[in-house]
Each structure stands twice: as structure tokens, then as C-alpha cells.
Structure 1
């Protein structure tokens, strides 16, 4: 066995809730996907391939949730992404003309124009609008390890009163990953890092070997882990659990003291979509449509006040590279101090939402690329859980505690007076579906209706809508989505019971919520 060495385990969790409105080409909430593709997923693929071309060692752990994969596969949504790119390029041309008398703004407008041209080439020519196979190819070439996740990102601790619901989230998530990406995943990203004792058995039953917890989920385990959060432990069911490193998290996540708060970085909130007259936003925002972010942001964070200096791309990207250098040096310093006290590689486990890099933190992709380059130069290993378990197959057995990476480390974001009606409704619906699942009625129009009811229940379980209600953002949309899926579920179950399934209504629901093509009632089991 070789000598221990410090290592970084970098994890990106790529997820969006399922948003698909077939009858509205320009639905506002569908912008979430279009923005993420342009700002996060295309830049991520681009930087990973550039690193590979430059022979920089890359080992990234990446989860792709089933709802995100379903949208990336969807021909209707892919077509809308392509048209969105065209509209944004048209606005770029207008912005270049509008800013020609202001050299500082004009330089930023030209930057966006050139960037959009490259993104358009990537989308159209390099990937032909198909990003899921591109991520699978990176896995096959050894650059990334892909993780499965919950079918619709349900917060599993609040579903445990219905064991079938928990198993369905895990089983459908694992099978959808295998269907779309051509291979079963060995690891599973727990939505919101939500864990409760006994959940490890559900993961083990799906042959999932490892998962991730927030720091206290492992640090407070019984017995206490001897290596704290710097190494995985095995649960009683044999699943390896890795814990988020608090310092690495704060360095990158924190809006107060983290890297993204640096005043040189681009300001997320200031956008011409709010600053310019409506007629100046055509064709990005059509007549009579709600204002929205356009991606054309000309100012840097600067400070807490309203006065903002003009953003400058090169100093901002240089700062991202400097922050990557600091991040790598801290990981080296911390793991170096642990090497002599541990008989295996000390790890810094650094999981983040993938959408942080490029969407919330525009310079984030440049930071990620520089982390890999700096790690290679500094001799810091970057590993995946599969690499780590192969090198160090033995670990302490502990029982992790209930935990999440949400506010206060538990369930308060998803169980609050504004959203506590949701878990109760979900439990009631699961109890209604259970008898049909036991009978496995899946043939004929009634079988189709029951599968669609199952699909509607899964969509209602999404943690995202409860989170939105608690955080107070697009609350009307979130409430309407949950209520719509619950209503459709009850309508379909009632129709099956009375043998009055309306084929046209069923077809309409199947067209609206067109995900999980291989879904079966057998996946809803105790």
C-alpha cells in the first residue's frame, strides 16, 4: 500500500426542477434551464475538454439529476434553447451599437458578443444540442465520475412516512440515470444532502456504493468517526459516506466572506433587463412579456451600495485564477498537516451546486479550470469517490445522524408554516397509490393513467417548490406547480376507480409532464 497523500474531492451537483410548458414558447420559469445551459453547462463542458486537450489531469465528480437530464433530452426544450441563443446574439448586436460611444461599456458588450458566438458554436456545431451524451463521453474518457440522484429531487427525510415514496425516488433516479447515460452509477447524490438513519439500506438495495452528507451528518455519527470529515466511513448497510468540508464550503459558497463576494467580480443582480426601456430589449423580451434578466450585466459588485463600477473581464478572470491558487494552497496546507496522523489519504470534500459556477458567480468556470491547473502544478491529487474507495477500501463503520445541507443543517427549509401542508398531502397521495402498485395494474388506459398519476406524484415531491415557498421568491408559481400535480394525481386516481379515464385528458397530461419514459408502477414498492 502506498504512502498517504492529501487529496481534493471536488463535487458538482447539477440540478434544476422540471419546468416544461408546451403551449408557451417564452415561459418565464423555463429561463432557468436556458440560463443554466448558457452560463453553466456549456462552459463546464468547454473547460473540461480544454483541460483534456492540454493534458491537465482532471477527475471531477458530477451529479446530473433526472429532471435536468429529462429537460436536456427534450426536443421541444432543446429547440427553445437554440432560439434563445439566437435572440441573445441579436441583442448583443444591438448592445454593441448602443454602447459604441462609451468605451468601457462597449468593451463589455463586445466581450458578450464574442462569448455568445463561441457558445452558439458549441451548442450547434460541437454538441448539436445534445449535452447528455457529451457528459457521458467525458465519463467514458475518464475525466468525470457521474452520480445518480433522486427522481425529482424529493427531500427524503420528509418522505420517510411513506417508504414506497423514498424507494421510488431512489429507484427511479438510479434507473433513469442508467437509461439516459448508458451505465448505472455507483454513487448517489442525496437531494439537499438529506439523510436519516435507515436510508442507507434503500441505497444499498439499489447497489449504490457511496453518497454525501453535510459535515455534521458524519461528524456526529455513532460511534464518532476517528478521522472526522477527512475520510469516508461505512454505514451499517455498507454504503460509504463522504462529508462536506466546512472551510472549503465557506470559501466558495459564502456571499459574505467567500470568493464570489470579491468586489471585482461581476454583479449578479444588475442587468439591462431591468435598466433599459422595454423596446431596447427586443428580441430577448417580447412586447407585453415580463421583464427578465438578459445576461447583459455591465457592472461589478464594487460594494454594498447602489453605485457600481463597470465590470472588467480580464481583472475579474485574473482574480478567479488567484482565488483558485489560494484554494489549492489551503487544501495542500490542511491535508499536509493531516498526512502524518492518518494511515490513508486525508481528503477535503468540496461539494457545490454546479449552477453556482457561471450563473450566480459568472467567473466561477474560470475558477474551476484554474483549480485543476493549480492542483496539477502543486502536485495535489484530485480524486473521485471511486478512485478513493479503490485505493482505500476499508473504513470505520458508523451510524450517521439525520442531517441536510439546508438552513441549520436539518429540514426547516422544507417544513415551515408556509410549506408544511406539502408533506401531509404527499403522504396521503402515496397511501392512495400503494394499493394500485401492489396490484401492478399497468395495462390498458387505466394502467397508463396510474403510471401518469405516479409521475404527477413524483413531480409534486420536488424539494425545489417547497424551498421556493420558504425562501419567498416565485412563490405563486411554486404553489401552483405543487397544487397542479397533486390535483392531476387525484383526478387520475379517481378516474381509474370509477373507470372514467378520459383519453384526451390523459394525453394532455402525458404531453405536459413528458419525463421518465420507462416509469412503471413496480418502482413504487415497499
Structure 2
């Protein structure tokens, strides 16, 4: 790749180094597991507010001949929902309902509701038209088109988003390889980079990454002791860790401040109770919802322009400072959850597009993580230690006392699943005969992977719909145990019936094949940190 292949706008790069924007797109499996207040509604809100605008923005910039705009992680579990027929039908219904609510607001007698209704009608009509034109056959065709244009670099990940450092080494290796294969099946693109769930890492995982074909992955800045100016080969491997630059990333989103909290932006938490729409602006961080001022799009757009200019200036200053400090062109990586842009921060998609235009106009080279790796933005190896991007940058969110019951549950369920699959495989395998696919074993592994999703412990630790999270973990654990018990008792008919029943709710990852699970005696490298 030449130095000019990844330019995103007119003009030559005049600033030192490279800037990479990385977005991580993820939601747990929500289909068929509740609707409101937690469940499919969460998926449809994020789809409408974040995924539709993001892909539309990438398409516009790509139509202008721009490429290598950003690095986009899409977890297999989210990709499955964007392709799932049930979710597609539900999303179409949700968009229609959004338009109906807009019409209800527009029909109310006061000016505030009429303005709100008109604004929401325009937004819902545009989203509905985009969805019906491009998305009705799933998200894969939409993303495949953008990948073919080289609009972004795809980051993959393991099936069902487990916290990998605490996962049994066999299931960890299986989940990663199956996740990469799932991406290849959907998009004809096998990612070489990944965003490991929660940026969770333990020594040895880099070896497993290398064996799976992964060349680079994301960590949080403190995992590199705050020096994120270059990617770093991890330990004795050639696998490169890229760190999130907190100084730049926190300009946008931080625990205490950031652009979305500006008073002109639409308030996420305030609803119009008649229509469920959001009529207010933030106004002030300490202002009660009842006292919030009406949303004004012009004020919000002006704030976006100021924050775009501030971010470009921040990136420029950071690139210059880090390049001078290390004596060579430096790398700056800003990384966020995709859902921040649109779902949590209404104006986020507008800000993103303007930033991606403004950065190259300011002489800043923009590229992907793979661009950075290939073009030599890599320093000396690092002895990476246990880390995550959660509170404390350690594992406490997924392993501390408040979730000890889930840690124990995960350990027991994984042991049950692996033991059952192993015994079935041993009984069904005869010398000289190929093993036949076993849909019961497939569903056992599918439910076990759903049990160990990192989302459940996160939601409990953060007290965010903790009851729903615990219910989901135990529901999938029950499914695993119920099917496994029928298998162990020799009740083949019952086991098949149970597996088929659970598959109707949890039928994601149709390519998942238990025959590819590493055997008990298969030597696994990169498992030094494995637990359970």
C-alpha cells in the first residue's frame, strides 16, 4: 500500500503521523428475549439511531472516492441480529411505529409538539426509506458493499462476546475461530484484526490470536502504560496491540465530561410522555427533566461545528507532541462504542461525518489500524499484562465479588457443555468413519456461549438492568443443562426436541459446528491465563 492509498480527502498530509478512528459495534443477543424496557427495543433504537446513519455516512464518503475512513468492529452476535429474519421484521415494524408517533405529535395543538412531530417525521421517513431500500435482506449486503469499496477495515471477534481471559481455553479458541469464520461467511472477508470483548487480555492470548490468523487487536491505553504512540508487538509474538489514546478519546466521551453533555445537544433521558419522543436539549447537567429547554437543531448543529474544530485541534496537537516525544511520526487512536454516535449522542453521526472531512482538510493523515501496522507505526515489543477497558482497567467488572455467582455459573455450565460434547463425540466416532454433524451438540455449545456473554456480568456490575442480565445468564445455563441432561440420560428424542425448541429462540450462528471444537487432548497454545 502506498502512502496515498488511504487518504480520505483532498490535499496532502502536512501533519506528522497518522490518526485512526476505531468503532466497536456490539449488542448482546436480544431477539426473542423481551422487548421493553430491555430487550429488542434496545436493538431497534441502536439500529435506527446509529447503524443506519453510520452506513449512510460511509456510503456518502465512499461515493466521493474516499476510502480507509475508519476501523469498524462488528461482533458476530450483532451481525447475527442484523441478518435475522425476526429482527428484520421487528425493525421494520419499529420504524413504522416511530413514524406513527411522529404523526401523533404533529397533530397536537401546541407549537412545541408540532415542531417535534415534523422533525421526527423527517427522520423516521428517511430511516424507513433507507431500511426498505437497502436493509430488508439483512445487514450483510449493506456492509459487504462498503467493505468491497474499502470504506473501512473490519474488526471481528469471538462468538457471543465472552470475556476471554476467564474462559476455558478450548472454548476460547473455538469461539474465536468460529467468530472469524462467521465474518467470512457473511461478508467474504476474514478479519485479521479484532476487538476482543471488553479489550480483555491475559498473557498467552496473543499466541492463540496468531494461530487464528489475527495480526492486531485493541487494548485500552493503560494496558500500554499510557504510551499509545505506536502499536506494540505483544511479548514474543508478531501480533500487534494498538492502544486507545485516552487523552484524545476522552475529549468526546469520558466518565465526567465530553461533547455529548453540552447543553445544546438533545437530552437522552428526557421523554415526551404522550409520544415517547425526545423533545428537550441537555440544557444543564443539573437541570431536572421537567425544566429542560426545547431542542433546537440549529443550536445543536453550531455546537457540532465547534466540537469538530476542537477535536481536530486536539488530534493535531497530540500528533505533534507525540511525534516530537518519540522522535518519529506517531499514531493516535481514538476508540469508542459505535452506539455512542446516534443512540446515546443524537448529534454523533453528524459530528462523525464532519470530523472525517475536517481531519484530512487540516493535513492530518487518516487511516485504519491495518494501514498503521503495514506502514510501520509499530514500536518495540511490550510485555502486556492482564487488562481490560472496564473500571480499574482490570477484570473487576467481570470477576469481582458482585458477580462471583455468574463466574461460578459460567464455570459449571462450560464444564457441563464440554463434557457432554466430548462424550457424545467419543461415542459417535468410529475408526475410518467421518463424524456426522450433531445439532444437539451444536445447540449445547450455542447456549453455553450465550451463558458466558460478558454483557451479563457488565450489566450486573454497573447495575444496568441487572435483573434482566441475571435472568438471561440463568436462562441460557438452564438450556445448556436441560439438553445435556437428556443426552447423558440417553434420551435422544427428548434431547433433539429440546435442542430444536431452544434453537427457535437462540438460532444465531447457523454455521456453528461442534465437530470443530478442539479435542481434550489437542495441545492448545496461548492458554496460560485460561480459567474455569
Per-residue Cα deviation, 1:85-114 (whole angstroms, up to 9, x for no partner): 11111111111111x432x44323211111
Contact 1:446-1:499 within 8 A present in 2 as well: no
Per-residue Cα deviation, 1:295-347 (whole angstroms, up to 9, x for no partner): x1110111112111011112202211221121011111121233345465311
- In the alignment, which residue of structure 2 is the partner of 1:101? 110
Task: Give the C-alpha shift of residue 356 in structure 1.
Answer: 0.4
Contact 1:4-1:342 within 8 A present in 2 as well: no
- Aligned match for 1:349, one of 333, 339, 354: 333
User: What SS does structure 1 have at the residue aligned with 2:398?
Assistant: coil
- In the alignment, which residue of structure 2 is the partner of 1:401? 385
Per-residue Cα deviation, 1:388-424 (whole angstroms, up to 9, x for no partner): 1221175312211111110111111122333211222
- In the alignment, which residue of structure 2 is the partner of 1:500? 491
Task: Give the C-alpha shift of residue 519 in structure 1.
Answer: 1.1
Q: Are 1:187 and 2:193 an aligned pair?
A: yes
Task: Give the C-alpha shift of residue 471 in structure 1.
Answer: 1.6
Per-residue Cα deviation, 1:101-131 (whole angstroms, up to 9, x for no partner): 32x4432321111111111110001333522
Task: Give the C-alpha shift of residue 6 in structure 1.
Answer: 2.3
Larger mean CA deviation between 434-443 and 488-497 belongs to 434-443
User: What SS does structure 1 have at the residue aligned with 2:71?
Assistant: strand
Unaligned runs of 5+ in 1: 221-227, 282-293
Distance 1:481 1:321 in 2: 42
TM-score by length of 1: 0.89
- In the alignment, which residue of structure 2 is the partner of 1:141? 149
Counterparts in 2 of 1:255 and 1:393: CA distance versus 1, 3 Å: closer
- In the alignment, which residue of structure 2 is the partner of 1:298? 279
Contact 2:157-2:195 within 8 A present in 1 as well: yes
User: What SS does structure 2 have at the residue aligned with 1:418?
Assistant: helix
Distance 2:397 2:97 in 1: 36
- In the alignment, which residue of structure 2 is the partner of 1:225? none
- Aligned match for 1:114, one of 118, 122, 136: 122
- Aligned match for 2:348, one of 341, 364, 376: 364
Q: Are 1:514 and 2:507 an aligned pair?
A: yes
Distance 1:394 1:323 in 2: 30
Distance 2:443 2:202 in 1: 29
Distance 1:353 1:344 in 2: 30
- Aligned match for 1:20, one of 31, 46, 49: 31
Contact 1:404-1:410 within 8 A present in 2 as well: yes
Distance 2:462 2:513 in 1: 34
TM-score by length of 2: 0.88
Map 1:249-260 onto structure 2 (within 5 A).
249-254=249-254, 256-260=256-260
Q: Are 1:44 and 2:44 an aligned pair?
A: no
- In the alignment, which residue of structure 2 is the partner of 1:232? 231
Distance 1:473 1:505 in 2: 31
- In the alignment, which residue of structure 2 is the partner of 1:373? 357
Distance 1:445 1:389 in 2: 41
Counterparts in 2 of 1:194 and 1:258: CA distance versus 1, 3 Å: same
- Report how many residues are paired: 495
Distance 2:251 2:35 in 1: 39
Unaligned runs of 5+ in 2: 4-13, 430-434, 519-523, 525-532
Per-residue Cα deviation, 1:150-198 (whole angstroms, up to 9, x for no partner): 2111111222xx2112212312221111111212101011111111111
User: What SS does structure 2 have at the residue aligned with 1:413?
Assistant: helix
- In the alignment, which residue of structure 2 is the partner of 1:461? 452
Counterparts in 2 of 1:244 and 1:27: CA distance versus 1, 3 Å: closer
Contact 1:108-1:313 within 8 A present in 2 as well: no
Distance 1:62 1:229 in 2: 19
Map 1:211-222 onto structure 2 (within 5 A).
211-219=217-225
Contact 1:6-1:332 within 8 A present in 2 as well: no
Map 1:424-443 onto structure 2 (within 5 A).
424-438=408-422, 441=425
- Aligned match for 1:471, one of 462, 468, 471: 462
Contact 1:403-1:409 within 8 A present in 2 as well: yes
